[in-house]
Amino acid sequence: MIITTRLSRFIFFVALLGAFAGCGSYVTEYRKTGFDYAQRGFAAIEESGELYEVIELKNVKIYIVGDRKDFNYKKAAAYGSPIAGYANTNNEIGLLGKRVGGKIVINQSILGHELNHLLNFKNPEIVNPDKLDEMGL
Protein backbone atom coordinates (compact mmCIF):
# COMPACT_ATOMS: atom_id res chain seq x y z
CA MET A 1 0.00 0.00 0.00
CA ILE A 2 2.80 2.44 0.87
CA ILE A 3 4.61 1.69 -2.40
CA THR A 4 1.46 2.30 -4.42
CA THR A 5 0.83 5.61 -2.64
CA ARG A 6 4.42 6.75 -3.13
CA LEU A 7 4.37 5.62 -6.76
CA SER A 8 1.08 7.40 -7.34
CA ARG A 9 2.45 10.61 -5.83
CA PHE A 10 5.61 10.32 -7.89
CA ILE A 11 3.65 9.81 -11.12
CA PHE A 12 1.35 12.70 -10.21
CA PHE A 13 4.26 15.09 -9.59
CA VAL A 14 6.08 14.01 -12.75
CA ALA A 15 2.89 14.57 -14.76
CA LEU A 16 2.37 17.94 -13.08
CA LEU A 17 5.95 18.95 -13.83
CA GLY A 18 5.49 17.85 -17.44
CA ALA A 19 2.31 19.89 -17.74
CA PHE A 20 4.04 23.01 -16.42
CA ALA A 21 7.08 22.47 -18.61
CA GLY A 22 4.88 22.06 -21.68
CA CYS A 23 2.95 25.33 -21.26
CA GLY A 24 5.62 27.48 -22.84
CA SER A 25 5.96 25.21 -25.83
CA TYR A 26 2.21 25.36 -26.49
CA VAL A 27 2.35 29.15 -26.55
CA THR A 28 5.28 29.10 -28.96
CA GLU A 29 3.67 26.50 -31.22
CA TYR A 30 0.34 28.34 -31.34
CA ARG A 31 2.14 31.60 -32.17
CA LYS A 32 4.21 29.95 -34.90
CA THR A 33 1.15 28.24 -36.34
CA GLY A 34 -0.74 31.54 -36.36
CA PHE A 35 2.10 33.30 -38.18
CA ASP A 36 2.35 30.41 -40.63
CA TYR A 37 -1.36 30.57 -41.46
CA ALA A 38 -1.28 34.37 -41.75
CA GLN A 39 1.69 34.16 -44.13
CA ARG A 40 -0.04 31.44 -46.18
CA GLY A 41 -3.06 33.71 -46.51
CA PHE A 42 -0.89 36.64 -47.56
CA ALA A 43 1.06 34.50 -50.04
CA ALA A 44 -2.23 33.39 -51.62
CA ILE A 45 -2.92 36.97 -52.73
CA GLU A 46 -2.10 37.38 -56.40
CA GLU A 47 1.10 39.33 -57.15
CA SER A 48 0.40 42.99 -57.94
CA GLY A 49 3.63 44.17 -59.55
CA GLU A 50 5.90 46.97 -58.40
CA LEU A 51 5.28 48.49 -54.99
CA TYR A 52 7.38 50.92 -53.02
CA GLU A 53 5.48 53.02 -50.49
CA VAL A 54 6.84 54.92 -47.50
CA ILE A 55 4.57 55.99 -44.67
CA GLU A 56 6.02 57.92 -41.78
CA LEU A 57 4.26 57.76 -38.45
CA LYS A 58 5.41 60.36 -35.94
CA ASN A 59 4.77 60.35 -32.23
CA VAL A 60 3.07 56.98 -32.02
CA LYS A 61 1.99 56.08 -28.48
CA ILE A 62 1.26 52.51 -27.53
CA TYR A 63 -0.60 51.90 -24.29
CA ILE A 64 -0.06 48.37 -22.98
CA VAL A 65 -2.39 47.51 -20.12
CA GLY A 66 -2.96 44.40 -18.04
CA ASP A 67 -6.65 45.04 -17.51
CA ARG A 68 -9.12 46.35 -20.05
CA LYS A 69 -10.49 48.83 -17.50
CA ASP A 70 -7.35 50.87 -18.21
CA PHE A 71 -8.13 51.25 -21.94
CA ASN A 72 -8.84 54.81 -23.10
CA TYR A 73 -11.67 53.58 -25.33
CA LYS A 74 -15.02 52.78 -23.67
CA LYS A 75 -16.00 49.93 -26.03
CA ALA A 76 -12.67 48.19 -25.38
CA ALA A 77 -12.73 48.94 -21.64
CA ALA A 78 -16.10 47.24 -21.14
CA TYR A 79 -15.77 43.84 -19.50
CA GLY A 80 -16.85 41.11 -21.86
CA SER A 81 -15.83 43.21 -24.87
CA PRO A 82 -14.31 41.18 -27.72
CA ILE A 83 -11.92 44.08 -28.48
CA ALA A 84 -8.33 43.17 -27.60
CA GLY A 85 -6.78 46.36 -28.96
CA TYR A 86 -7.64 49.61 -30.69
CA ALA A 87 -6.10 52.45 -32.65
CA ASN A 88 -7.21 56.03 -33.13
CA THR A 89 -6.42 58.95 -35.42
CA ASN A 90 -4.18 60.48 -32.73
CA ASN A 91 -1.56 57.80 -33.52
CA GLU A 92 -2.39 55.88 -30.36
CA ILE A 93 -2.69 52.13 -29.97
CA GLY A 94 -4.09 50.35 -26.93
CA LEU A 95 -3.21 46.69 -26.29
CA LEU A 96 -3.68 44.11 -23.61
CA GLY A 97 -0.38 42.78 -22.30
CA LYS A 98 0.93 40.35 -19.70
CA ARG A 99 4.06 40.27 -17.55
CA VAL A 100 6.05 37.07 -17.87
CA GLY A 101 9.41 36.66 -16.16
CA GLY A 102 9.75 40.41 -15.65
CA LYS A 103 9.11 41.15 -19.36
CA ILE A 104 6.00 42.45 -21.11
CA VAL A 105 4.40 40.19 -23.70
CA ILE A 106 1.83 41.41 -26.22
CA ASN A 107 -0.14 39.67 -28.92
CA GLN A 108 1.85 40.45 -32.06
CA SER A 109 -1.14 39.85 -34.31
CA ILE A 110 -3.20 42.45 -32.45
CA LEU A 111 -0.32 44.95 -32.62
CA GLY A 112 0.01 44.36 -36.36
CA HIS A 113 -3.73 44.79 -36.88
CA GLU A 114 -3.79 48.07 -34.96
CA LEU A 115 -0.66 49.32 -36.73
CA ASN A 116 -2.51 48.66 -40.00
CA HIS A 117 -5.22 51.02 -38.77
CA LEU A 118 -2.63 53.77 -38.20
CA LEU A 119 -1.23 53.20 -41.69
CA ASN A 120 -4.75 53.34 -43.14
CA PHE A 121 -5.52 56.58 -41.29
CA LYS A 122 -2.36 58.11 -42.75
CA ASN A 123 -2.78 56.68 -46.27
CA PRO A 124 -6.20 55.33 -47.40
CA GLU A 125 -4.46 53.22 -50.06
CA ILE A 126 -3.52 50.91 -47.17
CA VAL A 127 -6.58 48.75 -46.67
CA ASN A 128 -8.52 49.09 -43.42
CA PRO A 129 -7.80 45.73 -41.71
CA ASP A 130 -11.46 45.52 -40.65
CA LYS A 131 -12.52 45.53 -44.33
CA LEU A 132 -10.35 42.70 -45.68
CA ASP A 133 -13.42 40.45 -46.01
CA GLU A 134 -15.12 43.03 -48.21
CA MET A 135 -12.12 42.86 -50.54
CA GLY A 136 -12.41 39.07 -50.73
CA LEU A 137 -9.21 38.58 -48.73
Q: Mean pLDDT lowest for which of 6-10, 15-19, 67-71, 87-91?
A: 15-19
pLDDT tens digit sequence for 20-52: 555 557 878 888 888 788 888 888 888 888 988
pLDDT tens digit sequence for 104-126: 999 999 999 999 999 999 999 99
Q: What is the pTM of this model?
A: 0.74
Burial of 63 (0-12, 13-18, 19+ CB in 10 A): middle
